[in-house]
Amino acid sequence: MADRTRQVERVAATREALLSAAERLFAESGVYAVANRQISEAAGQGNNAAVNYHFGTKADLVRAIVHSHAERIEGIRARMLADIGDSVALRDWVACAVRPTTEHLEALGNPSWYARFIAQVTADPALYAITAEEVSAVAPSTRAVQEGLIRCLPDLPAEVYAERAAMTRHLITQMSVDRERALVDNASTPRATWREAATGLIDAIVALWEAPFTPEP
């Protein structure tokens, strides 16, 4: 039994090391620029086939990285949703879109690579589809946020809603990338903390959703 327990612990530690190394390398260089051999070496694994053995394809590895973070972000968002209940305040729902990510990034400490990793994978259509599918499966609360936004903006045409939802995702991702990179480089940031950065981002996104729209003639 003890030998079995040690084996399970070794496998778990190896998988975690591979996930961490892959996330960092993907964030820095892009998914397709990184070979599985490089990931194994960065994780301290002598076996160059370790990635294939533990995860399968590169797409499966991306899915595993997304899954590991999405579970933790889902926990934060679920807590926030419980707090706001059936709120009709747009800002509450925007906060539920923004703060789970920024709280998670703060919890990761410095350095972190998650924001830059997400920026890399969502820039590629195939990898974005994998990411969206995994988040949808692991984080059902994202659907509740979408429904809350719709309730707050009942007169917003569907195509405008879809456009502004995409803008919201891009703003959250890119502003998180900018702050994460600045912290790694010890550069100055507009806001002192992740919480303050989230507040500024929420301000901007609320204004984005409330902006007038021009119907096409």
Question: What is the reported pLDDT for 1?
Answer: 67
pLDDT at 93: 98
**CATH architecture designation of domain 1-56:** Orthogonal Bundle (1.10)
pLDDT given for residue 210 in this prediction:
98
Residue type, 199: T
Please state the length of the chain.
217
Enumerate the domain spans of the chain. 1-56, 58-210
The pLDDT value given to residue 2: 67
Q: Which segments of the chain does DSSP mark as H helices, in order?
A: 2-29, 36-42, 50-55, 58-84, 90-108, 114-122, 125-138, 141-152, 158-184, 194-210
Per-residue pLDDT of the chain (217 residues; tens, 9 = 90+): 666 677 778 889 999 999 999 999 999 999 999 999 999 999 998 788 899 999 999 999 999 999 999 999 999 999 999 999 999 999 999 999 999 999 999 999 999 999 999 999 999 999 999 999 999 999 899 999 999 999 999 999 999 999 999 999 999 999 999 999 999 999 999 999 999 999 999 999 999 999 999 988 7
